[in-house]
Structures are given as C-alpha cells and as structure tokens.
Amino acid sequence: MLKAHTLSLSAEDTPAPVSLAELRPRSGEPVRLETRIPKGRYSVRLIGIHEQVAVLVSAPKSRKSLLTEGASLSVKLLCGNRLISFSTRLLKAQDEPFPHWILAYPRQLETQAFRQHTRVPVHLPLWVDRGEGDLHQPQSALCVDISLSGASVEAPSALASVGELLYLTAKVSVAGMDHVILAAARVRSVLQTESGALAVFRHGLAFEDLEEETRLVLSGYVYQQWLYESGELL
C-alpha cells in the first residue's frame, strides 16, 4: 500500500491587499461553497465577476437547498497558484437564462500559496518513452503522486536509470475540460517496492523545461486534486 504524502499550503509571507478582480480567476474554475445555517457544501463553477458588485457562479445541482437570499456563505476557489477564501452572502438565485447564483462581491480575501513541492496522491495512467531515438514502444505506467515540480511513477519494470530523461504523456481533466500533458522529466531515483510476479518499480521524477501551456494545465490539475483530496471539492 502507498502512503499518502502530507498535503501542505504555505501562507504568503507579505500578502498584498488585492481584489478578486485583480487576481483574475478564470471562468469555469471549480468553486466550493459552504453554509453554516443550514449546514451544507456545494460544488459549483465560476461564471464571472462584476468588479465591486457581484460574483456569479453556477447554481448547485442540488436545487432542493433551503438556502434563502441573504444567507451567509464561505467560498474557496483557485486563482493561479493561490487558494482564495472569502465570506459573502447570496444576493439572488436566478433560473434564467440558466440556473445561477449571484453572490456579494468580497471586501476581504484570505490567500494561501501552494508550495512548489507540495505533492498530492493521484491515480493517473500515462505513457512513458525516451524520445525520438527510442526504438521501443511507449510503456504504460501509473503516476501515484504529483506536484508542480515532479512526480512519482510506478511501473512493473525500471523505465530508465537515474539521471536519464523520460517523456510523459497523460490525459487530465481540469475544470471539466480535457487536456493532454506532454512533459519531460529527469529520473532522480528508482526503487523496487515489490518483487516477484507483481514487481513494482517506483520512479522519482523531476520535470524539466515545461512549456508555459503545460505548466498552466499542470498547475490547475495539481490544485484541483488537492481540493478533492482535502475535501474542498466533491
């Protein structure tokens, strides 16, 4: 059995007073709503922001909520490499042109920055090869934890030696959209964790020279998995 890595966030040393609009969270990002009275949690999506006026989110799928207009809410969502938290209230629940909630624009934010090395446990199938000069077919493997800087990958045989470069291909879903990650990674360690017919080799990998688009998708995926793992998203 694998042991889950400790998940951690670091508070920003000197957080600058910024507004939600200045942070520019992307439409479609997962948002976690929590209420105390009545007690409840809702997973929704960000629709957009009307600066200094309101925040629009999709209505929860559970439409039988007892929440009334004016009710207090706690909100958590991702903005870049930050987890943003704030308190608000429900201004209006609308059904047209589609079900959505209008929340009061937050006057104060709490921000926490993810550490580059924070790892989250995953179960992500991927393909591994050694680049253009590799005469072998790509090998299937399993990523068991991942961070913004590297990953742990398991396979039934050693994929490469320490110091060699591998190329990873994986399909991930971020905010409901599918993306393909293509990443180069340097092998930092190889450890055989199980032997016999069910041999398992665990590879510690460090990402190298990630393209900007790949880094953005990877960041969104890692943060999203952290939210799932910590219970902030259902």
Reported as a single tens digit per residue, the pLDDT across 203-226 is 999 999 888 888 888 888 888 887
Q: How many angstroms separate the CA atoms of 79 and 20, rounded? A: 9
pLDDT at position 25? 84
Please give the angle made by the CA atoms of 110, 29 and 41, to the nearest 5 degrees. 70
Q: How many angstroms separate the CA atoms of 172 and 224, rounded? A: 11
The mean-pLDDT minimum among 32-41, 95-104, 123-132 falls in 32-41
Q: Which residues of 97-112 are buried (b: 16+ CB within 10 A; e: fewer)?
A: eeebbbbbbbeebebb
pTM, to two decimals: 0.58
Residue 63 confidence class, pLDDT cut points 50, 70, 90: low
Q: How many angstroms separate the CA atoms of 211 and 182, rounded? A: 9
Q: Coil, strand or helix: which one is 166?
A: strand
Q: How many angstroms separate the CA atoms of 121 and 128, rounded? A: 19
